[in-house]
Chain A
Amino acid sequence: MIKFNEIKRAFLVSIWFMFLTFPIMVIRVNPVERIVEWRWKNMILVGIGSFLLSFVWNYLMKRKELGVKKTEAGEETGTIPLAQRILGEKRIYIPGLVAIGVFTMVFPLIFSMYQTTIMTTALIYVMLGLGLNIVVGLAGLLDLGYVAFYAVGAYAYALLNYHFGLGFWMALPIGGVLGAIFGILLGFPVLRLRGDYLAIVTLGFGEIIRIILENWNEFSFGPSGIANIPRPSLFGIDLSVHSSIIYIYYIMIALCLFTVFVVNRLQDSRIGRAWIALREDEVACEAMGIDKAKTKLTAFSLGATWASMAGVMFAAKTTFVNPASFTIWESIMILCIVVLGGMGSIIGVIAGALVLILTPEYLRAFSEYRMLAFGTMLVVMMIFRPGGFIPNVRRVYKFEGVKSADKS
């Protein structure tokens, strides 16, 4: 039921907004004809718009508060997260997985080259997101310079190819190892830091790498970058542009599956638990016998490995690298993927990457409003779904063996 109170409140909000936007939306001074135009129509639009928005807002807020109250009262709300319900129901889950699998496999065959390229880009971000998820989502270390490792990978391939003629398949593991080394290099000085301080130092690290690449001309060819990086070859055969784009798409799918596999296993292991404990409480974590330094360094270096491999992939896909691809904005974007998707949740991060990278591509018509929509989405998400699109579900252990052993 809509109550009179709510209408009154929304009405007041709309009046307030009409008043606030009055100077910019209604009055326009025309200096040529020396008159003031009064655009009353705009005021009505603002009024109606804010009235409706405030209505929706209040409704959502109320629903949210209701949910909080229910959980506080300890009631079983029956609102198990949708994702968890789907995962629990094998009849939906398995055909769904098969359908997604088939769709991804035939994707480049049905859709155009353009679509395939966009999808490949999105998949690179899936990989980056999953890598950053180790550092931010699991170990709770806010890393704002993640793009540095992405750059390390991309330049590793570009330079190794330029100087030594190394191919993609050689560069991929070398890039990964280099990434891990850089991860440890960054990790050492920040071992004692946490929270905001860590964020600032990593931010600085990311900028340092970019500025080095931009200014050290002898090493990285400066802002003009490195061109003519070869695409991956298939057993020594060079492919045409079209088929190599499809080939890269399949490599990317394979790499993403590999990443999911590894991250999933790490999450449910001794190391993964230590990361989560580190995120929850550093002091208690150390007092329980976990080596803080080692755990942090593992998180940093593993996260960096994935970023670096994604970087090699990026260089191979675009065949050109320059420092402009590795700005702070990229780091923020990857962080948004992790936070919006759901920290620590693999499916969440994949969903986050696809939504954040694909939506702007398909909404090119509204590209002027892209940042506006992006900002709005972030704010709304953080208020109504702070856990992300698909929040993480902790594993539940089974004990049949233990319990029966007790009885005997």
Chain B
Amino acid sequence: MEPVLKVQNLGMNFGGLRALDDLDLDVDKNEIVALIGPNGAGKTTFFNCITGIYPPTDGDVLIFTHGSDRPERINGIKPNRVTEKGLARTFQNIRLFPNMTVLENVMIGRHCRMHAGVLGAILRGKSTIKEEKKAVEDSYAILEKIGLAQFVDEFAKNLPYGAQRRLEIARAMATEPFLLLLDEPAAGMNPNETQELDELIKQIRDEEGISILLIEHDMKLVMSLSDRIFVVDYGKKIAQGTPEEVRNNPVVIKAYLGEEVDA
């Protein structure tokens, strides 16, 4: 398999606290990988280290961009540069732009693929108009794909909860990523919405050829979606494998349920 992301020996210290310790993880092309673990295990910290919000203390984050097999190290570069390189993420607690319309939210995702500067904006030449028009069209197309086209002119803050989660995914897709990082995409969704999300994520992988790395607590969703699962606890990787392997792994069961005590 052709890898797109390879994380080696990643470590992150917050003062004396070792939040991540010697973590390895890799995602292959067209693969859905899940990262699970109990609360506070360091999953979101892991995402933040990859996407440049925190610079990792040690280890390597390597990406393999389209077709090249020479890895590129992206530790510690700024979040916007990471996004430009093709990693897009969503947030655990929804972080949309509440007072912008749904379309504008997606158009922000297009920002890093556009070029008009201050002068271009003021003079509004042919290329700028063309670029703007294309951005509107592309964004609308993404909204249709995600199933939010009916909300296009609505303010993001007025959307129902499930739709807000989907809009975050749409906005991330607009940055043209090769790897989508989803931080608890199903949190707070009802079973129906979760089912739709399941289909949506598969559709993104199959139709767009985007690999997906997700953090999720909904085990039903994780088991149904993932090709491989990584389990972390206290910042360390405790298991990895297919859903079947992970489900029956005694270490994982111990981490989630605690040890059995003989009465």
| Segment 137-195 of B: residues with Cβ below 8 Å from A | 137, 140-141, 144, 152-153, 155, 171-172, 175
Which of B16-24, B120-128, B219-227 is found at the contact surface with chain A? B120-128
Assess whether A287 is in contact with B89, with CB atoms less than 8 Å apart. yes
Given contacts A280-B98, A284-B95, contact A290 B108 (CB under 8 A): yes
Which of A169-177, A355-363, A396-404 is found at the contact surface with chain B? A396-404
Assess whether A288 is in contact with B153, with CB atoms less than 8 Å apart. no
Assess whether B118 is in contact with A276, with CB atoms less than 8 Å apart. no
Can you list the 5 inter-chain pairs with the closest CB atoms, starting with the nearest? A289-B112, A269-B121, A289-B83, A280-B97, A284-B95
Assess whether B116 is in contact with A281, with CB atoms less than 8 Å apart. no
A301-336 contact mask (Cβ, 8 Å, vs B): 1 or 0: 010000000000000000000000000000000000
Given contacts A265-B121, A402-B137, A402-B141, contact A270 B114 (CB under 8 A): yes
B198-220 contact mask (Cβ, 8 Å, vs A): 1 or 0: 00000000000000000000000
Q: Does B251 contact A (CB under 8 A)?
A: no
29 sampled A-B residue pairs with Cβ under 8 A: A265-B122, A266-B118, A269-B120, A270-B111, A270-B132, A273-B104, A276-B104, A277-B108, A280-B99, A284-B96, A284-B97, A287-B89, A288-B80, A288-B83, A288-B88, A288-B109, A289-B84, A289-B109, A289-B175, A290-B111, A298-B118, A394-B100, A394-B101, A394-B155, A397-B152, A397-B153, A399-B140, A401-B137, A402-B136
Q: Does A406 contact B (CB under 8 A)?
A: yes
A397–B133 Cα gap in the complex (Å)? Answer: 10
Q: Does A286 contact B (CB under 8 A)?
A: yes
Partner of B80 from the list A269, A271, A292, A298 (CB cut-off 8 Å) is: A292
Shortest Cβ distance from A406 into B: residue: B144
A250-280 contact mask (Cβ, 8 Å, vs B): 1 or 0: 0000000000001001100111111011001
B72, chain A: closest CB distance, angstroms = 17
A379-408 contact mask (Cβ, 8 Å, vs B): 1 or 0: 000000000000000101101011001100
Assess whether A269 is in contact with B175, with CB atoms less than 8 Å apart. no
Given contacts A284-B96, A302-B118, contact A397 B111 (CB under 8 A): no
A283–B83 Cα gap in the complex (Å)? Answer: 13
Task: Find the residue from A271, A288, A396 having the highest chain B CB count within 10 A.
Answer: A288
| Segment 139-186 of A: residues with Cβ below 8 Å from B | none
A270–B127 Cα gap in the complex (Å)? Answer: 13
A160, chain B: closest CB distance, angstroms = 25
Q: Does B25 contact A (CB under 8 A)?
A: no
Spell out B's residues near A (CB within 8 Å).
Answer: 51, 53, 78-80, 83-84, 88-89, 91, 95-101, 103-104, 107-109, 111-114, 116-118, 120-122, 124, 128, 131-133, 135-137, 140-141, 144, 152-153, 155, 171-172, 175
B103: which A residues are within 8 A, CB to CB?
Answer: 397
A285–B111 Cα gap in the complex (Å)? Answer: 10
A350, chain B: closest CB distance, angstroms = 19
Assess whether B136 is in contact with A287, with CB atoms less than 8 Å apart. no
Assess whether B137 is in contact with A266, with CB atoms less than 8 Å apart. no
Assess whether B97 is in contact with A276, with CB atoms less than 8 Å apart. yes
Partner of B95 from the list A269, A271, A281 (CB cut-off 8 Å) is: A281
B114, chain A: closest CB distance, angstroms = 5
A238: which B residues are within 8 A, CB to CB?
Answer: none
A59–B95 Cα gap in the complex (Å)? Answer: 38
B95: which A residues are within 8 A, CB to CB?
Answer: 281, 283-284, 287
A273–B107 Cα gap in the complex (Å)? Answer: 8
Spell out A's residues near B (CB within 8 Å).
Answer: 262, 265-266, 269-274, 276-277, 280-281, 283-292, 298, 302, 394, 396-397, 399, 401-402, 405-406
A339–B153 Cα gap in the complex (Å)? Answer: 26
Partner of A287 from the list B83, B98, B99, B155 (CB cut-off 8 Å) is: B83
A291–B113 Cα gap in the complex (Å)? Answer: 12
Secondary structure class of chain A's binding surface, majority of residues:
helix
B83, chain A: closest CB distance, angstroms = 4
Partner of A265 from the list B89, B124, B172 (CB cut-off 8 Å) is: B124
Assess whether B144 is in contact with A287, with CB atoms less than 8 Å apart. no
B109: which A residues are within 8 A, CB to CB?
Answer: 288-289
Assess whether B112 is in contact with A288, with CB atoms less than 8 Å apart. yes
A265–B88 Cα gap in the complex (Å)? Answer: 29
A14, chain B: closest CB distance, angstroms = 41
- 9 extra interchain contacts, Cβ-Cβ under 8 A, other than A287-B91, A288-B83, A288-B109? A266-B118, A269-B116, A270-B131, A281-B96, A284-B97, A288-B112, A289-B84, A292-B80, A402-B137
A286–B172 Cα gap in the complex (Å)? Answer: 12
Given contacts A287-B53, A288-B171, contact A270 B116 (CB under 8 A): yes
Assess whether B153 is in contact with A274, with CB atoms less than 8 Å apart. no
Task: Find the residue from B51, B95, B107 having the highest chain A CB count within 10 A.
Answer: B95
A298: which B residues are within 8 A, CB to CB?
Answer: 118
A274: which B residues are within 8 A, CB to CB?
Answer: 108, 111
A266: which B residues are within 8 A, CB to CB?
Answer: 118, 121-122
A211–B131 Cα gap in the complex (Å)? Answer: 47
A287–B78 Cα gap in the complex (Å)? Answer: 9
A298, chain B: closest CB distance, angstroms = 6
A406–B116 Cα gap in the complex (Å)? Answer: 27
A104–B136 Cα gap in the complex (Å)? Answer: 37
A397–B172 Cα gap in the complex (Å)? Answer: 21
A291: which B residues are within 8 A, CB to CB?
Answer: 78, 80
Assess whether B80 is in contact with A289, with CB atoms less than 8 Å apart. yes
Shortest Cβ distance from A262 into B: residue: B122
Assess whether A286 is in contact with B80, with CB atoms less than 8 Å apart. yes
Shortest Cβ distance from A405 into B: residue: B137
Shortest Cβ distance from A266 into B: residue: B121
B236, chain A: closest CB distance, angstroms = 26
Assess whether B111 is in contact with A273, with CB atoms less than 8 Å apart. yes
Assess whether B136 is in contact with A399, with CB atoms less than 8 Å apart. yes
A277–B118 Cα gap in the complex (Å)? Answer: 16
A289–B172 Cα gap in the complex (Å)? Answer: 10
Shortest Cβ distance from B135 into A: residue: A270
Assess whether A399 is in contact with B80, with CB atoms less than 8 Å apart. no
